[in-house]
Amino acid sequence: MKAKVIVMPKQSILDPQGVAVRDAVQHHGLPAVKSVRVGKMIEMELDGAFSEEQLHEVCRDLLSNPVIEDYQLVVE
C-alpha cells in the first residue's frame, strides 16, 4: 500500500520560491502564469498494520510545519 503526502505553503503565507518560479516562467515567454506555489510530495510504501491516525500524526509532527504549511494525505 502507498501513502502520498502533499505539503504546500498555506495560502496566507508568502511563497518566495513560488514567486521566483512564476517570474522565471513569465520571463520564458508565458505571461499568462499569474501565480505559482511550490511544495513537496512524499510517497511512502507501507507494509503491515497502521492506522490513518498514525499517518496524520507523522504528517503533522514530522513531514510538515503546521504553522506555515498544510498537508493532504492520500492512501492508495
CB hemisphere CA count around 17 (13 angstroms): 6
Question: What is d(CA 18, CA 39) in angstroms, rounded to the nearest whole number?
Answer: 9
> What is the Rg, in whole angstroms, of the alpha carbon atoms belonging to the chain?
16
Q: Is the pLDDT of residue 4 over 90?
A: yes
For 13-65, the pLDDT digits (tens) are 999 999 999 999 999 999 999 999 999 999 999 998 889 999 999 999 999 99
Residue 42 CB neighbours (<10 A):
16
Whether the pTM exceeds 0.95: the reply is no
Q: What is the pLDDT of residue 3?
A: 96
For 2-75, CATH number?
A: 3.30.1280.10
Domain spans of the chain?
2-75
